[in-house]
Structure 1
Amino acid sequence: MGLSDLQRGGVEEVDKARRDLSDFHRRIWSYAEPAWREYRSAKAYVELLRAEGFEVEEGSGDMPTAFHARWGDAGPAIGMYAEYDASPGYSQDTVPYRQPRPGFHPWAPGFTDAHSALGVGALAGALATKRAIERTGGTGQIHFFGEPAEKVCGSKAVHAAKGYYDVLDAAISYHPLVENTALWDIQNCLYWSVVVIFQCFEAQSAEPVQPWVSGETLAGTGLGAHNVVRSPGAIDALGLMLTATKYAKENMFPRTGLWSLNEAILGSANATADNLPPRITQIQFSWRSPALGIQEQILEVLKRNARHVAGLTNCQVSLRWVTRTRPGLKNHVMSEATYANLAELGPAEFGAEAYEFGRELETALGLEPSGNPFQPHIGRVVPPREQDAVTRATLPPWQDCTGADDYTEFSWHAPTVRFFTAKPLLNACGDDMNHWANNALNGLSAAIDPTWSYAGGVIAATALRLIEDADLLRRAKEEFKRNREAAPTGYLEPLLPKDFAPPVELPWPEYVQTARGYEWQLPTTAYFGETL
């Protein structure tokens, strides 16, 4: 089945917009803003969408860097979204050798899995869908979401809890990755994240934590304040929480299956070393697994560890939720329709400049330049069932989801497809998608524009078919209802409450304006002292 005239019109609109959107992509790539702090990126999207005629709610869901853009007032409502957060520690300039972006600390953020291209590909699809409908005088509604903080699966669980996805008839989820394909049965797992906060109040009797020392044990000794016994404090609490959880790890999970528990220490302004107990520390734990029961077991162990550690260190402990996502629901009708467009329009073609850049990267890695520096996936469109079988071979029989991404939230509110277009990845890097050489390719227009523009055409063709083919949309909705009720968990409401306050107040890494200029929160000049 080929494309309809309306679908072909949408694909043509992507081609027309490609030059302007290439410049826009480079702009978002250059901002490289991390989770919950994508201020300039979100503003750029909002301004462009408003200029295009969308109604835009800035700060949707009480998230300063989120938005909800709407166009159209009749016909099927199709959901799409942009992501635009980068990963701290992975800055890389668009050069064929290892070099962070000029003027920033070496550990500033960069785009590891090309969220810059993810967002622009979805934007291309949304604009093309809208323009094709306008050109033909048809009807249809586009809901385009700005989704910050995907690296911590942050925003979509919030938007879902607050009802933003309830209006959708269908949703399209896109990500640049390894293959050109769509998911089939195996979707993404649950992903939960909390920040454990320790505070030391020392001897303030009005606080809930008791004084560490009972009585005036050193009264009249003349030893001075620096010799007085003090509480262990918040840094000791953080260290004990980190190690206690690592010691308990093998007792927190089943012995089989793909799951993970990761931690990160957030900044807490304890930069001196006086004989005073550090007052506050914050450590984030994020975990993914295929089952609700496993997630809850991990949470209970974390809580238990935190309470014991607080007692050992004379601290008060609290827990701040970051996110709590549901597993993804499959929709074969949506997958088949999207795959048909992937096959019709692709795979993307990459020009000589991209291949030459790849060979220069090989040289920088100490290798002989090859005829084809890239992995072969970019040249093939993989049927969803075939890709599903490859993934299934890596999983135990009882596990029916893997990985983590908060797109899964859409799938509980409307028929949803998850699809990918391949970006160039160096053979020399193996499976390391986060290697600096692959990150350099994410900023090169010749290497990344074909990836996102291919996706834009697929999104437009899929959205427009859903809008003009009432039978397709009906079948997708019928399957959605069946799969939602047949899920192993049964129907799951959003796991965050409707009044959830997004964790934007936490000390997430960000860029700052100082007397030295606009810089990453680590000073631009990197001096690491003496190597030991």
Structure 2
Amino acid sequence: MTSQAQQIALLHVDTIQPHLSEWTKTIFDFGETAWREYQSCAWYVARLRAEGFSVEEGSGGMPTAFCAHWSNGPGPVVGMYAEYDAVPGNCQDAATVKRPRPGLSELAGGHTDPHSGLGIASLGGLLATKAAMERQGIGGTLRFTGEPAEKVRGSKPIHAARGYYDGLAAMLSFHPFYMLPLCNTARWDTHCGAAYAMIYRFVCDRPEDWLGHAGDRAPIPQSHSAVRAPGANDALMTMYLSSKALRDSMLPHQGGWSISEAILTAGQATADNLPAALSEIQYMIRVPTTAMADQATAVLDVNAEAAARMTGCRVERHWVCKSRPGLANHVMARTVFGALQAVGAPQWNERAKRIAREIQENAVGSSTTEPFIDECERLIPPQEAEAILRRDLAPSQVNSTSDDYTDMCWHAPTARFYVARPALRPAAGKRYPSWVMNALGGIPETIDPMVTCAAKTLALSALRLLEDAVTREEAMDEFIRRTGGGIGGSNWIAPLCDYEPPIHFRWPEYVETVRGREWWIPTGRVD
């Protein structure tokens, strides 16, 4: 049974739905990637201020982060958040065919999860909660953080360490469904694991000192025949290959855990006869526990030092993230799933199905009568989803997969829930290329049902927590019990972040040139 305030919130989401659709497309088209979400962040800041929120820009020392507040008098503080970073190399238009957004190459950024829908759904839930609080005179405060660089688990460990999640009665964390059985449900016991990410920077700033051959009696020490250091490119390749060879010894390859790498910067030589001066490689370690992350990091450190010594370089390690594993809260999970039950799973109309069939035809050459998988329009109770998830996990494995909402869990009772993004059922027995999911996340007819459902679920959950002191107290009691006394308790894991925001690296981004705005890798356009 929904309260009067909750009914007002549901109606408010329906009223602003055209705006939510337009806003989702706006963020989708920005397609900005980690630590470089300038337009997206500015859009949120302006929108929130227009809606009456006070906004701190650059929260936690991150230029593309923010923290917004709105208060309706004394009462509990409930938190929500937006993500808005995209992924390099996934530039896809909101279209039924494979093509990049206008004026860009497919190498540019694009939304895969999609965080464009995640953030606007959260904003919709926030605004609906605010409208109901105003109409019904409900006291309390809404806190809304802007979380950049989620794809590298970037902002939340920093926000956590700097106190942005302290003082919350509850945190609500929504994500588009991305793997079965976590579709239209909430996480129960098995939450996401720990993750470390770091950049190893190799610098060859004294190549003439390689093996003590200063000058090497050559007229020009940097000549083709002079003995000189191999340089930073060789260091990077040595690091890359040695770490690949040792991965089996770093952690067990089961349960969805991984160590992956991305080369940020390589080369920097101005001629082919000069050693490369700088190279950078990022590693992301996704594992169940911080102890396993420490073990893998120790091996990577050894490899990096060896690679540097072999190639006449020095090495620096810079942290991108150190995030904790998640913490369950059954009261919060039940509360959010109850709200999702009241809203119902998202439904796709015939217009959306026609678009989906057109995508099927263009992607694999055939279509199905019902193009979306059945799970998209069904709810699954958290305990049932948990049982399915656990079937493929070792009994001793506490966590599964990776996401940085986990840092929020240690500062407030947190619910992690999922609403179905559109996903297509197989046609002609063929797998879909990645552009298909990316396109479905940008086409209004296919992504709007998820955004609307999630916004309503967030609003109903927030209002339940604001209005129902018993539920709120039960959630906090469970948080205190699981942490062994709350923040600082015997089972509490303190923030791991002991580094400054890694904003100064050569992260992929859009640039302004005489040719106009383009991706940092030139598109080759001649127009």
Q: TM-score, normalised by structure 1?
A: 0.94
Match for residue 530 of structure 1? none
For residues 420-448 of structure 1, the C-alpha deviation after alignment (integer angstroms, 9 at most, x for no partner) is: 11011111389979721121111111111
Aligned 8 A contact 1:113 1:434 in 2: no
Which region of structure 1 is more displaced relative to structure 2, 105-114 or 299-308?
Answer: 105-114
Query: How many Å apart are 1:160 and its aligned residue?
Result: 0.2
Match for residue 157 of structure 1? 157
Aligned 8 A contact 1:268 1:282 in 2: yes
Aligned 8 A contact 1:31 1:40 in 2: yes
SS of 1:212's equivalent in the other structure is helix
SS of 2:151's equivalent in the other structure is helix
Query: How many Å apart are 1:35 and its aligned residue?
Result: 0.6
Aligned 8 A contact 2:363 2:433 in 1: no
Match for residue 318 of structure 2? 320
Match for residue 490 of structure 1? 491
Match for residue 476 of structure 1? 475
Query: How many Å apart are 1:250 and its aligned residue?
Result: 1.0
Matched, 1:202 2:206: yes
SS of 1:143's equivalent in the other structure is strand
Query: How many Å apart are 1:490 and its aligned residue?
Result: 2.9
Output the amino acid matched with 1:491. W
Output the amino acid matched with 1:34. T
The change in CA–CA distance for 1:9 and 1:211 in structure 2 (over 3 A counts) is same
Aligned 8 A contact 2:213 2:228 in 1: no
Which residue, 210, 229, 244 being the options, matches 2:227?
229
Aligned 8 A contact 1:203 1:212 in 2: no
Matched, 1:212 2:211: yes
Output the amino acid matched with 1:394. D
Query: How many Å apart are 1:273 and its aligned residue?
Result: 3.8
SS of 2:95's equivalent in the other structure is coil
Which residue, 387, 404, 407 being the options, matches 2:405?
407
Matched, 1:353 2:354: no
Match for residue 362 of structure 2? 364
RMSD: 2.1
Q: How many residues align?
A: 518
For residues 95-120 of structure 1, the C-alpha deviation after alignment (integer angstroms, 9 at most, x for no partner) is: 21111112101211111111000000
Match for residue 279 of structure 2? 281
Which residue, 368, 371, 392 being the options, matches 1:373?
371
The change in CA–CA distance for 1:340 and 1:93 in structure 2 (over 3 A counts) is same
Query: How many Å apart are 1:177 and its aligned residue?
Result: 1.2
Output the amino acid matched with 1:168. L
Aligned 8 A contact 1:425 1:433 in 2: no
The change in CA–CA distance for 1:183 and 1:255 in structure 2 (over 3 A counts) is closer
Aligned 8 A contact 1:268 1:507 in 2: no
In the aligned structure 1, how far is the partner of 2:283 from the partner of 2:506? 15
In the aligned structure 1, how far is the partner of 2:475 from the partner of 2:74? 19
For residues 456-478 of structure 1, the C-alpha deviation after alignment (integer angstroms, 9 at most, x for no partner) is: 10100000010010000000000
In the aligned structure 1, how far is the partner of 2:444 from the partner of 2:338? 27
Aligned 8 A contact 2:190 2:328 in 1: yes
Query: How many Å apart are 1:8 and its aligned residue?
Result: 1.3
In the aligned structure 1, how far is the partner of 2:148 from the partner of 2:191? 21
For residues 284-304 of structure 1, the C-alpha deviation after alignment (integer angstroms, 9 at most, x for no partner) is: 000111122211100100001
In the aligned structure 1, how far is the partner of 2:191 from the partner of 2:253? 21
Match for residue 193 of structure 1? 197
In the aligned structure 1, how far is the partner of 2:490 from the partner of 2:404? 17
Identity %: 43
Unaligned runs of 5+ in 1: 205-209, 528-532
In the aligned structure 2, how far is the partner of 1:367 from the partner of 1:508? 37
For residues 348-395 of structure 1, the C-alpha deviation after alignment (integer angstroms, 9 at most, x for no partner) is: 221222100111011112433221011111111110001111111121
Aligned 8 A contact 1:193 1:287 in 2: yes
Matched, 1:138 2:138: yes
In the aligned structure 2, how far is the partner of 1:408 from the partner of 1:434? 30
Unaligned runs of 5+ in 2: none
Superposed, 1:1-400 pairs within 5 Å as: 2-72=1-71, 73-178=73-178, 179-202=183-206, 210-214=209-213, 216-218=215-217, 225-254=223-252, 256-268=254-266, 270=268, 272-400=270-398
Q: Which runs of 4+ in 1 moved over 4 A?
A: 429-434, 486-489
Query: How many Å apart are 1:223 and its aligned residue?
Result: 9.7
Q: TM-score, normalised by structure 2?
A: 0.94
Query: How many Å apart are 1:225 and its aligned residue?
Result: 2.8
In the aligned structure 2, how far is the partner of 1:200 from the partner of 1:366? 49
SS of 2:281's equivalent in the other structure is strand
Aligned 8 A contact 2:267 2:277 in 1: no
Output the amino acid matched with 1:238. L
Aligned 8 A contact 1:202 1:212 in 2: no
Match for residue 454 of structure 2? 455
